[in-house]
């Protein structure tokens, strides 16, 4: 029985294939970031990068830590669901550096009230709305209303 | 004949090359591990993505269209200015009365979102007496269970985080824009500065610090509810929301299975 001789080109093809696979494995090993399979099929460090931004809004809890005298009044009235920064603007800089005058959030003017209370047919009927033109025009809202406690009269 | 390259030396140098490449990879892994311990990033360290499942729910009936959430989102996330770049926005739906004798239940539907609702909504051009009903719908990433944006990304830059957020890895994103076309809710845009796709991250830097997303923090009427499904608190807002309301999701027929739930959603909302 004569042995079937493997042609040399087959050997070369097999060797080449093995070499390609090995170099692919090495390249993949080198190019894949270490955190790639940490949480799933993505770079795990991306989560930390997203989380590393600095918040601009501090949150109501941070405000009420110092301004607790407002809390008692605010929670009595209809404005209890409103966050402090809704009207006063972002306060993160003020929370980290409370003494700086420049970083204090602004006291809002009439536009803050009108933003929610101007009459608009799309607004839910439960929302209290005014028509700016015939609602004591020329006067400031706070002359008659207390923003922190809207059911009270100043 | 003397050959300077022998089989033995050839194999030895090849093996050396492979070994050095392997040690390079090992060195990089070690460096990453060291970095994790010593380099201080401002990212919170004790946050475990597997221990949370975040969800936002929206009550259409409570939205008053003030647009402060849109403004807060732009401020918080440094979203580019301009009327096409929004991570969240508000749409105004106006359903007109049907024409008399038309036999229709409802008339024409007018939808607008001037500057995403960021400056509030000016009184509509449709006169009040022609309106059958009208409402505001806040929109954001719907946090799909089967996200089309994740499926189409050719470089794997978009992914589902274990805590429920669908995020973009800006270092992988090549800005091809497939995901922007694939999102059936129009929640993505191409950032003109970084040239990468951007979307709502549920304010990932806030929720990992125990804060609410900026839009939820700012909403004056609690139209936006946010919570953690894996760690329900006492009187959990999400549980109460689902218990109290008939909830629905946007475009359920697409099979994307959005996790974001809407209460009091009208059939005209798309």
Q: What ipTM was predicted for this assembly? A: 0.85
pLDDT in tens, B148-184: 999 999 999 999 999 999 999 999 999 999 999 999 9
Exposed e or buried b per residue across B132-169, where buried means at least 16 C-beta atoms within 10 angstroms of its C-beta = eebbbbbbbbbbbeebbbbeebeeebbbbbebbbbbbb
pLDDT band at A2 (very low <50, low <70, confident <90, very high): low
Give the 3-state secondary structure of chain B. Answer: CCCCCCHHHHHHHHHHHHHHHHHHHHHHHHHHHHHHHHCCCCCCCCCCHHHCCEEEEEEHHHCCCCCHHHHHHHHHHCCCCCCCCCCCEEEEEEEECCCCCCCCCCCCEEEECHHHHCCCCCCCCCCHHHEEEEEEEEECCCCECCCHHHHHCCCCCEEECCCCCEEECCCCCCCCCHHHHHCCCCCCEECCCCCCEECCCCCHHHHCCCCCCHHHHHCCCCCEEEEECCCCCCCCHHHHHHHHCCEECCCHHHCCCECCEEECCCCCCC
Contacts of A120 in chain B (CB under 8 A): 65, 121, 123-124
Nearest CA in chain B to A39: B162
Contact call for residues B69 and B88 (beta carbons, < 8 A):
yes
Locate all alpha helices (DSSP H) within chain A, ordered by sequence. Answer: 8-31, 45-51, 60-66, 68-74, 84-88, 92-96, 110-117
Residue A46 above 60 pLDDT? yes
Could you state, in order of their start, the residue ranges of all structural domains in chain B? 50-144+200-263
User: What percent of chain A is modeled with pLDDT above 70?
Assistant: 96
Rounded to a whole number of angstroms, the distance from the CA of A48 to the nearest CA of chain B is 6
Q: Count CB-CB contacts under 10 A for residue B95.
A: 20
Rounded to a whole number of angstroms, the distance from the CA of B184 to the nearest CA of chain A is 23
pLDDT in tens, B107-131: 999 999 999 999 999 887 889 999 9
Rounded CA gap, B263 and B243, in Å?
Answer: 11
- Which CATH topology does B50-144+200-263 take? Alpha-Beta Plaits (3.30.70)
Contact check, Cβ <8 Å, A81/B162: no
Contacts of A59 in chain B (CB under 8 A): 211-212, 217
Rounded to a whole number of angstroms, the distance from the CA of B62 to the nearest CA of chain A is 7
pLDDT in tens, A104-136: 887 666 678 889 999 999 999 999 999 988 898
Alpha-carbon dihedral B14, B20, B25, B28, rounded to 10 degrees: -160
């Amino acid at each position: 029985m004569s042995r079937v001789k493997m042609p040399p080109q087959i050997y070369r093809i097999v060797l080449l294939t093995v070499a390609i696979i090995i170099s692919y494995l090495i390249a993949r090993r080198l190019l894949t970031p270490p955190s790639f399979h940490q949480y799933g099929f993505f770079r795990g460090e991306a989560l930390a990068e997203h989380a590393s931004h600095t918040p601009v809004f501090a949150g109501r809890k941070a405000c009420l830590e110092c301004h607790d005298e407002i809390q008692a009044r605010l929670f009595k009235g209809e404005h209890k669901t409103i966050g402090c920064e809704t009207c006063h603007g972002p306060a993160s800089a003020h929370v980290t550096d409370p003494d700086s005058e420049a970083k204090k959030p602004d006291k809002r003017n009439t536009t803050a009230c009108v933003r929610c209370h101007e009459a608009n047919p799309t607004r839910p009927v439960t929302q209290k709305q005014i028509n700016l033109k015939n609602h004591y025009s020329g006067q400031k809202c706070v002359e008659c209303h207390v923003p922190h406690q809207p059911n009270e009269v100043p | 004949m003397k050959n300077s390259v022998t089989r033995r030396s050839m194999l030895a140098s090849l093996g050396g090359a492979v070994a050095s490449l392997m040690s390079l990879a090992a060195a990089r892994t070690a460096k990453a591990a060291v970095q994790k311990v010593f380099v201080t990033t401002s990212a919170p360290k004790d946050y475990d993505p597997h221990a949370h499942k975040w969800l936002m729910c929206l009550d259409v009936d409570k939205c008053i269209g003030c647009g402060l959430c849109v403004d807060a989102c732009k401020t918080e996330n440094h979203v580019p200015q301009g009327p096409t770049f929004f991570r969240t926005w508000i749409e105004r739906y106006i359903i007109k009365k049907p024409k008399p004798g038309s036999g229709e239940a409802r008339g024409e539907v007018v939808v607008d979102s001037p500057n995403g609702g960021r400056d509030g909504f000016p009184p509509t051009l449709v006169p009040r007496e022609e309106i059958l009903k009208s409402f505001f719908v806040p929109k954001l990433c719907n946090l799909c269970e089967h996200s089309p944006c994740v499926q189409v990304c050719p470089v794997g830059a978009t992914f589902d985080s274990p805590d429920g957020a669908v995020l973009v890895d800006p270092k992988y994103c090549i800005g091809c824009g497939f995901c922007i076309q694939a999102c059936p809710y129009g929640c993505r845009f191409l950032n003109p500065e970084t040239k990468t796709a951007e979307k709502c991250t549920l304010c990932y830097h806030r929720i990992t610090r125990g804060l609410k997303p900026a839009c939820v923090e700012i909403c004056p009427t609690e139209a936006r509810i946010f919570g953690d499904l894996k760690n329900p608190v006492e009187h959990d807002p999400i549980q109460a929301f689902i218990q109290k309301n008939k909830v629905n999701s946007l475009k359920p027929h697409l099979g994307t299975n959005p996790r974001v739930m809407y209460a009091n959603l009208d059939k005209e909302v798309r």
